[in-house]
Chains A and B, each alone.
Chain A
Amino acid sequence: MGGRMSRIGLRVASGLTLAFLYIPIVIVVIYAFNDSKNQSWVRLIDSIGAHGFGETFSLHWFEVALNNDQVRESFFLSLQAAVGATLVALVLGSAAAFAVHRHRFFGRDAISFIVVLPIALPGIVTGMALNAAMNAGIRGFDVGPLHLTSPQFGIFTIIVGHATFCVVVVYNNVVARLRRLGYTLEEASMDLGADSWQTFRRITFPSLATAVVAGALLAFALSFDEIIVTTFTAGTEQTLPIWIFANFRLPNARPIVNVVALVMILLSVFPVYLSARLAGAESAGSIR
């Protein structure tokens, strides 16, 4: 009665939420195959009615997208930036997680707060701050007889920007796992004669591996899709989101954007699946 109704109601509500989440994605997928440049839905339906599915849908824009130099270059740049940012985030995030979990020190509580700041603050604030700092760095400053300058805007500055807000996802995952592990296994290992390096290599690291990988996958996703901070730190370079932003309002490029979106959907299923399996049902929730 009451229980049954609420069970059905729960499923219906969940289904509606999922539908809400996916309808726009389905639409993008449909449009990737839309032969016409025009983006009107009504025209699409009319075209199906008038000319049938064969004339309305095609793989034409897939071909155009593959041959588009800018799309390829920006895709690979995004890939490079994501890999770089993830590696940096892994190092920094894990180091910070270990430091916070294993030691007590002045400012320990502040670390969790500071680590989450880049993601909690609006992207435009992070972007403006980093942009101003980078411009100042490029202008350079004098340290005694030396004139030190930081690198020009480019892949390096993009990675710096991305890594800053990717640290938190790695940090949170590793800290959560460290808390769950406790010290007992490591202490047992040491009691049995292993030194700290052996303990780390044989006991600690394997237990952490899945959390680290889950964090890395999420950091990768965050970096790959980021637009706002990247706009401020990319200079003349174009990552894939920047390319999309420059092109998705242009009649000639919009169909290509739809294709790119579809490809990103397909490419993302595997890493997400992997991340879900690795993290397991347990720490799946401690994403950030």
Chain B
Amino acid sequence: MHNRKLAALAATAAIVAAACGSGATNAPSTGGTVPPTAPPSEPVATAGPKIIDAIGPGEGELNLIVWPGYAESGANVPEYDWVHPFETKTGCKVKTVKEAGSSDEMVTLMRQGGGSLYDGLSASGDATVRLIKEGRIAAVDVEKLFPEWKNLWSGMQSPIHNTIDGIHYGVSHGWGANLLMWNTTVVTTAPDSWSVVFDKNSPYAGKVTAYDYAIYIADAALYLATAKPDLGITDPYELTQAQFDAAVALLKDQRKIIGKYWGTYGDNITDYENGTSVLGTTWPYQIGALKAEDPPIPVEAVLPKEGATGWADTWMMSAEAAHPNCMLMWMDWMIQPSTQQQVVEYFGEAPANLKACDLIDSKPGPYGYAGFCTDQHAADDAYAAAIKFWKTPLADCGDTRGTTCIDFSEWIKAWDEIKAAT
């Protein structure tokens, strides 16, 4: 009886293995390095990727992966709705808005269903280059497709995270920094340094929070760049083994004062609402959301003196998009000044299109006010240069250290250890 069962299972396995072996004909057999859900292999373009330069008629539907707050339809705050006007104007119904919690999640989603499940995404710098290199993003001729592109702030027109060898792979959306937020009734002295979340003897132990994603190791490295200068950290994403170990050790210590990490903005908000968390890193969106609650949760935020990590987001279209024209129309829509005004006011970031600032100053929405753009350092080159935008840690340090840096897969494994530390 047992033998028969085992035999049946073994037979199944054999059949499947055979099918698996012969079924992988879509994978080029060079060393077996194949993307897990790659589309049928396209020939590697020797003359450069195909650059899209015209928008055809809309397909009537659009499926997006976005950071929360990037595709609002008035459900949260009625005045912040740029999805319905888009639908009316273009006839493209925004069918799916998948809010992701991290860049890795976005990359994984883009691989689902042969790459054609979602038409596009708002990718941060730590996802863009990866996706472009995998061949998942369509190259676009920004000048022909998007008349508004020339009005974008110079720093956002062709940034390195979405423009490679002069070829554009999307349009910039906006940028901002990860801030330090605290509950003002509990944390009575306003902090100005990240040291408060790394303080082993913190009076708020058990109620500190941090972003639940491996890229947060860069935040620890950034803090150590100032706190422990002999480590010589210049780029928090390109760390030598010694620098990496120091950052991980700091985070393992931090684990002792952390009550709960937040993986999605909803968790972050809920944790501050019910007092589970009172201090920690956050995105500007949560600050606005907490303040807008009834009754408002008393929070404030600051960009600490050591600086901060941040994100610069780009709207990109999938190379296998099922609705490419609608996606291009969306990209064009998102850099219009009026849309940019709504988005950056609602989320709390700096716009890519500076014309939005004039609109915010003259006719601010519920979350906006005159001087908003100045506070966000919208046209401030020096400030933007000081923010360490998310990018994928690679073994290639990009400087004299060669390829001795720690790549992101190690960051992910280290993050498991950090969270399990006691």
Direct chain A–B contact by Cβ atoms under 8 Å: yes
- B8 — which chain A residues lie within 8 A by C-beta? 106-107, 110
B118: contacting residue among A107, A113, A236, CB under 8 A:
A236
Judge if A191 is at the interface, Cβ distance under 8 Å.
no
* Contacting pair A140 B116 (CB below 8 A): no
* C-alpha spacing A138/B269, complex, angstroms: 37
- A36 — which chain B residues lie within 8 A by C-beta? 294
* Contacting pair A249 B37 (CB below 8 A): no
Instruction: For residue B104, give the distance in angstroms from its CB to the closest CB of chain A.
Output: 16
* Contacting pair A251 B5 (CB below 8 A): no
* Contacting pair A135 B114 (CB below 8 A): yes
- A236 — which chain B residues lie within 8 A by C-beta? 63, 95-96, 98, 117-118
- B4 — which chain A residues lie within 8 A by C-beta? 106-107, 109-110
Judge if B23 is at the interface, Cβ distance under 8 Å.
yes
* Contacting pair A152 B116 (CB below 8 A): yes
Judge if A141 is at the interface, Cβ distance under 8 Å.
yes
**B353-386 interface (Cβ within 8 A of A):** none
* Contacting pair A38 B294 (CB below 8 A): yes
Interface magnitude class on chain B: 35 or more
**A164-215 interface (Cβ within 8 A of B):** none
* Contacting pair A141 B25 (CB below 8 A): yes
- A110 — which chain B residues lie within 8 A by C-beta? 4-5, 8-9
Instruction: For residue B359, give the distance in angstroms from its CB to the closest CB of chain A.
Output: 25
Judge if A250 is at the interface, Cβ distance under 8 Å.
yes
- A140 — which chain B residues lie within 8 A by C-beta? 26, 40
Q: Nearest chain-B residue to A141 (Cβ)?
A: B23
**A238-257 interface (Cβ within 8 A of B):** 238, 246, 249-253
B113: contacting residue among A107, A113, A132, A138, CB under 8 A:
A138
Q: Nearest chain-A residue to B271 (Cβ)?
A: A249
* Contacting pair A235 B112 (CB below 8 A): yes
Judge if A153 is at the interface, Cβ distance under 8 Å.
yes
- A252 — which chain B residues lie within 8 A by C-beta? 75-76
B62-79 toward A: CB 8 Å interface, digit per residue (1/0)?
A: 010000000000011000
A7-51 toward B: CB 8 Å interface, digit per residue (1/0)?
A: 000000000000000000000000000001111100000000000
Judge if B295 is at the interface, Cβ distance under 8 Å.
yes
Interface magnitude class on chain A: 20 to 34
Judge if B293 is at the interface, Cβ distance under 8 Å.
yes
B245-279 toward A: CB 8 Å interface, digit per residue (1/0)?
A: 00000000000000000001011011001100000
Judge if B289 is at the interface, Cβ distance under 8 Å.
yes
* Contacting pair A138 B114 (CB below 8 A): yes
* Contacting pair B273 A153 (CB below 8 A): no
* Contacting pair B114 A139 (CB below 8 A): yes
B37: contacting residue among A38, A135, A142, CB under 8 A:
A135
Instruction: For residue A235, give the distance in angstroms from its CB to the closest CB of chain B.
Output: 5
* C-alpha spacing A155/B111, complex, angstroms: 19
Q: Nearest chain-A residue to B23 (Cβ)?
A: A141
* Contacting pair B25 A249 (CB below 8 A): no
Q: Knowing A37-B293, A110-B5, A236-B63, say if A251 contacts B273 (CB, 8 Å).
A: yes
Instruction: For residue A256, give the distance in angstroms from its CB to the closest CB of chain B.
Output: 10
**B112-152 interface (Cβ within 8 A of A):** 112-114, 116-118
Instruction: For residue B122, give the distance in angstroms from its CB to the closest CB of chain A.
Output: 16
A142: contacting residue among B26, B36, B95, B96, CB under 8 A:
B26
* Contacting pair A246 B113 (CB below 8 A): no
Judge if B306 is at the interface, Cβ distance under 8 Å.
no
Judge if B332 is at the interface, Cβ distance under 8 Å.
no
**A73-132 interface (Cβ within 8 A of B):** 106-107, 109-110, 113, 131-132
Instruction: For residue B219, give the distance in angstroms from its CB to the closest CB of chain A.
Output: 23
**B274-312 interface (Cβ within 8 A of A):** 274, 289, 293-295
**B42-67 interface (Cβ within 8 A of A):** 63
Q: Nearest chain-A residue to B289 (Cβ)?
A: A251
B36: contacting residue among A40, A135, A249, A250, CB under 8 A:
A135
* C-alpha spacing A235/B270, complex, angstroms: 27
- B118 — which chain A residues lie within 8 A by C-beta? 236
* C-alpha spacing A251/B293, complex, angstroms: 8
Judge if B99 is at the interface, Cβ distance under 8 Å.
yes
Judge if B1 is at the interface, Cβ distance under 8 Å.
yes
Judge if B155 is at the interface, Cβ distance under 8 Å.
no
* C-alpha spacing A113/B98, complex, angstroms: 37
- B1 — which chain A residues lie within 8 A by C-beta? 109
* C-alpha spacing A236/B294, complex, angstroms: 32
- A246 — which chain B residues lie within 8 A by C-beta? 99
Instruction: For residue A151, give the distance in angstroms from its CB to the closest CB of chain B.
Output: 10
Q: Knowing A139-B39, A153-B117, A235-B117, say if A249 contacts B112 (CB, 8 Å).
A: no
Q: Nearest chain-B residue to A134 (Cβ)?
A: B113
Instruction: For residue B310, give the distance in angstroms from its CB to the closest CB of chain A.
Output: 24
Judge if B397 is at the interface, Cβ distance under 8 Å.
no
A38: contacting residue among B36, B112, B114, B293, CB under 8 A:
B293
- B26 — which chain A residues lie within 8 A by C-beta? 139-142
Instruction: For residue B185, give the distance in angstroms from its CB to the closest CB of chain A.
Output: 15
Top 3 nearest A-B pairs (CB, nearest first) are A249-B266, A236-B96, A141-B23
19 contacts between A and B (CB under 8 A): A38-B294, A39-B273, A106-B8, A107-B8, A110-B4, A132-B36, A139-B37, A139-B114, A142-B26, A152-B113, A153-B117, A235-B117, A236-B96, A236-B117, A238-B96, A250-B76, A251-B273, A251-B289, A253-B75
Q: Which residues of B contact A (CB under 8 A)?
A: 1, 4-5, 8-9, 23-26, 36-40, 63, 75-76, 95-96, 98-99, 111-114, 116-118, 264, 266-267, 269-270, 273-274, 289, 293-295
9 new A-B contacts, CB < 8 A, other than A38-B295, A251-B269, are A39-B273, A107-B5, A109-B1, A132-B36, A138-B37, A138-B113, A250-B266, A251-B273, A252-B75
